Amino acid sequence: MTTTPDASSPDGTPPVGSADETPPPAPSGASSADSTPSEPGKADGAAGRRTRSGWWPLLTRLHFYAGVLVAPFLLVAALTGLAYTAVPQLDQLVYGEQLRVEKVGETAKPLTEQIAAARKAHPEGSIASVVPPEAPDHTTKVVLSVPELAEQDKQRTVYVDPYTGEVRGALTTWFGSTPLATWLDDLHRHLHLGETGRLYSELAASWLWVLVLGGLLLWFGRRRTYAGGSRRTIVLPERGARGVRRSRSLHAVIGVWISAGLLVLSATGLTWSTYAGERVTDLRTSLSAYAPELDTSLSGGSEGTSGHDHSGGHEAAPSGGLPTGLTADQVLDRARAAGLDGPVEISTPADDKSTWTVAQTDGLWPVRMDQAAVDPHTGEITARVDWADHPLLAKLSTLGVRAHMGTLFGLANQIVLAVIALGLTAGIVLGYRMWWQRRPTRGDRRAPVGRAPARRAWRQLPWPAPAVAVPLIVAVGWAFPLLGWSLLAFLVLDALLGLLHRRREGRPAAGS
């Protein structure tokens, strides 16, 4: 559904000499160019008839070429995303010694003692934050801001047994992620190629929604041709189908079932992208769709800085240790009394004019993400931002990102993402298989793959359509720059190929 349709003709009827059964009939009202590949003269005649059914050849051609050209990027994104879905289990397998205790004790030591043990083993840098255990068999995480790592937005996390005070190891972490999780995340986002590599994932996310929606329109809009008019074959594979018809049925049905998930992944993936991401940022700013910022200034002014971020805090006490005044245990007690239960992260004051920050980090649904600023001298809650205070769009963005990362619904979320990744992979393989199955196989008409849908499909559109479509395409290209530029590149290349082809046949040139 999200890749190449069978395309020797706009509606997928087999070309002469292809190895397939009798093709389905064309839908009523379809022009000749909408049912089988025409000879030059017939194609020109069909192109002169402008009807509403002219959308189908154009949509088929777009879906075909987008699938052929973008599917490799989508396949890489699907396979790397599939690997990332297993991160929680892989972390426990690879880093179990650091993440878990050997034996669950009766009483945990104070956080102050655990921090002291971590600093004794790792005196470098300064304390950025402390993450108490989320479960009885988990270790305490003491996050250190180390200058040479801070340049890469990374920290050193020391893992301490909360019952014995034993330091069980230290890892270089990124936004709280282990080295393996970071490596898999980088592989999925940019293939370890830096900013240049990010273009691959943005191109895939930009075209994914186009392929999904176009595939749905083709499948539901032309069900009489593709699925024999049966409602059952819209959502279930066609019984008894063989050859390309069977591949097409599986390709489309898989796409139908995973389409909603693919659209969510496309939308959330674009928020992290380079160029489309800037558009999303500008839109969210104009709509005030960001979470309120926690005021961590002791003065109570309005220009305090956020004491907690997704990285676990890069700023820390100037001395490299904990600030004077309340201990980490006392700060945690004040936050618990204020209602911040569950998993939390305790970030140290950025300077002597800032507060401690305690933030809930429970990303499982229903999420708990309240934050509170705690005065390091008096223990007073000077400010707080609750999850309920976030604007709706900010909440949707946060939840969408959590779902994309597989953490919103725990194991069920991971399984759904794995199914979507496997479904997308299967759809891509089936799309290319259809292309191969459509190849001519008789006599001098042999070819390695099937023919593409006929050019000049746009000539069959009703007259008002281009006037509406062109501004819409320009707007979409502005919102999704890589989509716009890649589409323009395709149109230019296709026009040049069409020009060469027409000149060889001695006919006037025409566009797609």
| Region 393-402 average pLDDT | 95
| Region 94-101 average pLDDT | 98
pLDDT at 16: 38
Maximum distance among all Cα pairs of the chain, rounded to whole angstroms: 90
pLDDT digits (tens, 9 = 90+) for 448-467: 887 877 776 667 777 777 78
| Region 166-190 average pLDDT | 97
Cα distances (Å, whole numbers) of residue 246 to 3, 6, 429, 430: 16, 11, 13, 10
Cβ atoms of 220 and 234 within 8 Å: the answer is yes
Residues 6+ apart with CB under 8 A from 133: 108, 139, 140, 162
> Which range (142-156, 195-209, 233-247) has the least confidence?
233-247
CA distance 52 to 222: 13
pLDDT at 5: 45
Phi-psi group of 176: left, alpha or beta (phi > 0 → left; psi -120 to 50 → alpha; rest → beta): left
Residues 6+ apart with CB under 8 A from 109: 162, 163, 164, 165
pLDDT digits (tens, 9 = 90+) for 12-63: 444 434 444 434 333 333 333 333 343 444 444 444 555 556 678 888 888 9
Bridge partners, 386 (sequence order): none
CA distance 197 to 203: 10
pLDDT digits (tens, 9 = 90+) for 102-139: 999 999 999 999 999 999 999 999 999 999 999 999 99
Give the amino acid at 364.
L
pLDDT at 254 over 70: yes
pLDDT at 440 over 80: yes
Bridge partners, 170 (sequence order): 158
pLDDT at 455: 73
pLDDT at 390: 96
Q: What is the number of other CB atoms lying within 10 angstroms of the CB of residue 324?
A: 10
Bridge partners, 141 (sequence order): 131, 159
| Region 61-78 average pLDDT | 93
Terminal-to-terminal C-alpha distance of the chain: 23
pLDDT at 59: 87
- Residue 280 belongs to what H/E stretch? helix 275-286
Cβ atoms of 385 and 295 within 8 Å: the answer is no
Q: Where are the domains of the chain?
A: 32-83+191-280+413-505
| Region 342-365 average pLDDT | 96
pLDDT at 371: 98
Residues 6+ apart with CB under 8 A from 47: 33, 456, 457, 459, 460, 510
pLDDT at 499: 85
CA distance 311 to 53: 53
Cα 372 → chain centroid: 31
pLDDT at 403 over 50: yes
With 0-12 / 13-18 / 19 or more C-beta atoms within 10 angstroms meaning exposed / middle / buried, residue 475 is: exposed
pLDDT at 174 over 60: yes
Give the amino acid at 291.
A
pLDDT digits (tens, 9 = 90+) for 304-340: 334 444 334 444 444 457 888 999 999 999 999 999 9
Give pTM, 2 decimals: 0.83
Exposure string for 253-275, b = 16+ CB within 10 A, e = fewer: bbbbebbebbeebbbbbbbbbeb
Question: How much is the mean pLDDT over the chain?
Answer: 85
